[in-house]
Amino acid sequence: MNKIDLAIVGGGAAGMAAALYAARSNLNVVLFEGQSPGGQITLTNEVENYPGLGVENPISGPEIAMLFLNHAEKFGSKTEYTFVDSIEGTAGKFILKTSNGSWLSKAIILAPGSKAKEIGVPGERELMGLGVSTCATCDGAFFRDQEVVVIGGGNSAIEEGLFLTRFAKKVTIVHRRQEFRATPVILERAKKNKKIEWKLDCVVEKINGKNKVENVEIKNIKNNQTETFETNGVFIFIGHNPNTNFIKNTVNLDDQGYIDVNNKQETSIKGIWSAGDCSDHHYKQLITSAGDGVKAALNAIHWLEENS
């Protein structure tokens, strides 16, 4: 069996930042990535809010992903392109099983990220990052003085809709019911905002556009009438699913599947840390994920020094 000091599960911003710090501390590090390196950020074609990047020339998510990966590999981090299927064992002797074999690792950082829930309509995946977004903080500023559509009726949809009014000239919230899951105080604030319009009892059935969003097809589910609604931005806020199914019997998860961590990124199991969107309900940014990854790596490095 392959023996290593530190296994990092997930090659998004959190995992790659952790890999850089751990490899630069001379640990024998393997980063496991089941798809392509970079995670969610590879879904967007422009990132404007990572300090120091994209200042003079625009930079895309995939370009940032390759910068992160090359930086970690420069210091000796190895990348295994395979999903980790399960984790067994105890601190100092964890076994990670994959379809490419098993690894024995002294410590683990979990960084499998999360996925925004999809509404499942034509155009949604094709136009993701080209006008379709799941993050107002990330993409709101691209829609200055434009008209955008927000889909959802929970707190995040209404809060993100309010945030978008800082940039957009009009925000239309499309929600399939009359009732909202959002808390009354947030809803009230949104109802008072003159830039927000409402399409209730409505669903988006299709997102149209060639290389960017041009319009959406909206159906009223009470009277079955459909309309084509001109917009350049479609923000979908119907929740996230953390990619934690494979470790549900390994570490403690909360009721929504996020990994429980303390402020040192420690999980419920000694020798396992967690970083990034898989353990973050709120911030879900490239830099906060990378920051979590660094905290997890520094604590793992220290723990390995004390326990090897």
Ligand X SMILES: Cc1cc2nc3c(=O)[nH]c(=O)nc-3n(C[C@H](O)[C@H](O)[C@H](O)COP(=O)(O)OP(=O)(O)OC[C@H]3O[C@@H](n4cnc5c(N)ncnc54)[C@H](O)[C@@H]3O)c2cc1C
Q: Does 95 bind ligand X (CB under 6 A)?
A: no
Give every CB contact of residue 29 below 8 A, 6+ residues apart in sequence: 4, 5, 6, 7, 8, 19, 22, 23, 76, 77, 78
Name the β-bridge partners of 166. none
Residues with Cβ < 8 Å from 17, sequence gap 6 or more? 68, 72, 275, 289, 290, 291, 293, 294, 297
If you search the block for the tokens 């690894």, which residue do you land on?
103
Q: Which of residues 122-151 bind ligand X (CB under 6 A)?
A: 128-129, 133-135, 138
Helix (H, G, I), strand (E, B) or coil at 61: helix
Q: Which stretch binds ligand X (CB under 6 A): 31-39, 171-179, 192-200, 209-217?
A: 31-39
Map the footprint of ligand X across residues 268-297, applying CB under 6 A.
276-277, 284-287, 289
Nearest to 298 by CA among 23, 10, 21: 21
Asked if 114 touches ligand X (CB under 6 A), the answer is yes
Task: Choose among 123, 125, 114: nearest CA to 274.
Answer: 114
Examine residue 40 and tell whether it contacts ligand X (CB under 6 A): yes
Stretch that binds ligand X, among 44-52, 118-126, 202-210, 294-302 (CB under 6 A): 44-52
| Catalytic residue, candidates 138, 202, 277, 292 | 138
Q: How near is the Cβ of 177 to ligand X at its closest, in Å?
A: 26
Q: Tokens at residue 115, please?
A: 């996925």
Residue among 39 and 153 whose Cβ is closer to ligand X: 39
User: Per CB under 6 A, does 187 bind ligand X?
Assistant: no
Q: Does 253 bind ligand X (CB under 6 A)?
A: no
Contacts with ligand X, residue ranges (CB under 6 A): 9-15, 32-35, 39-41, 43-44, 47, 49, 83-84, 111-114, 116, 128-129, 133-135, 138, 243, 246, 276-277, 284-287, 289
